Amino acid sequence: MSTVSALVCRSALAMLVAVSARAQTAAPVEPPTGLDNGLEQQVRQLAAASTAAHTPGAPRVDVSIGQLDPRLRLAPCQHVEPYLPDGMRMWGKSRIGLRCTQGPSKWNVYVPITVRVFGKALVAASGVAAGTVLTTADVTQAEVDLAEDSSLPLTNAEQAIGRTLARALKPGQSLRQSHLKARQWFAAGETVTVLAQGDGFSVAGEAQALNPGIEGQLVRLRTESGRVLTGMPVGERRVEMPL
């Protein structure tokens, strides 16, 4: 083989190796869902529309469709209709119903989906240890998946500054309500202001707390007349009563 031919062969071989390496490092292809392209698109649109309706202002919604149970043996169907199961929230891990409306045998199955809702929220600026009292240096804003955790994300610094972390945060981790230690607004035995609000009116009074007023936990109260009520602590010696 001539020197020129050898060089050409080596060059071609190098190109093949490079192409193969790029193919191996490319992003993995999602596994097939078991749905045709048209039905997949309907499922995505239904989930995204439902999420957008319940999350106004969300800049971006992404829907990933999981795989139908491969053990299913469904009868042929001329028309499959996707629908939202009752009480199902299109948020994080969820599911969409599929029912056959035209076919020899009616059937109903569920396909798993994951709904990601992206928006601005607080994240840890660096690693923060449990027990830390948060300062402005500990948090910053970034785009996160709001639906990746069931606990509500915190969206402004006022919700976090001065609060104590219940558990450690990694750099860039989304700050959630569950990450903060619950505040105690008052102790058992203290006199608190009770506010009852209705349609167009509000009534305020005083009562004695029968147990500590912990943020997010109902508290029992005794009025001057001896009546026992239940309300939600909302601030320093303040309780709201639902009507």
Predicted confidence at residue 60, as pLDDT, reads: 87
Encoded tokens for 59: 């800049």
Distance, CA of 194 to CA of 212 (rounded, Å): 15
Q: CATH: 1.20.1560.10, 3.90.1210.10, 3.40.50.2300, 3.40.605.10. Which one for 118-179?
A: 3.90.1210.10
Segment 193-232, tens digit of pLDDT: 999 877 777 888 999 999 999 988 899 999 999 999 999 9
Choose among 181, 185, 172, 174: nearest CA to 132: 181
Segment 10-39, tens digit of pLDDT: 443 333 333 333 333 333 334 467 788 899
Confidence of residue 54 (pLDDT cuts 50, 70, 90): confident
Give 9 or 80, the one with higher predicted confidence: 80
**What are the residue ranges spanned by the domains of the chain?**
37-117, 118-179, 184-241
Contacts of 172-175 spanning 24+ positions with Cβ under 8 A:
172/123, 172/124, 172/142, 173/123, 173/124, 174/121, 174/122, 174/123, 174/144, 174/145, 174/146, 174/148, 174/149, 175/121, 175/122, 175/123, 175/124, 175/139
Residue recorded with tokens 């506010």: 195
Predicted confidence at residue 222, as pLDDT, reads: 95
Assigned architecture for domain 184-241: Roll (2.30)
**Which bin fits 162, alpha (ψ -120 to 50), beta or left (φ > 0)?**
left
Indicate the range of 5-9, 57-61, 175-179, 230-234 predicted with least confidence: 5-9
pTM, 2 dp: 0.64
Question: Which residues are registered as beta bridge partners of 116?
Answer: 62
Q: Where are the extended beta strands (E) located within 190-227?
A: 191-198, 201-209, 213-214, 219-222
Choose among 65, 105, 99: nearest CA to 83: 99
Predicted confidence at residue 32, as pLDDT, reads: 63
Encoded tokens for 29: 């292809």
Encoded tokens for 117: 């809702």
Q: What is the DSSP letter of 179?
A: G
Segment 166-180, tens digit of pLDDT: 999 999 999 999 999
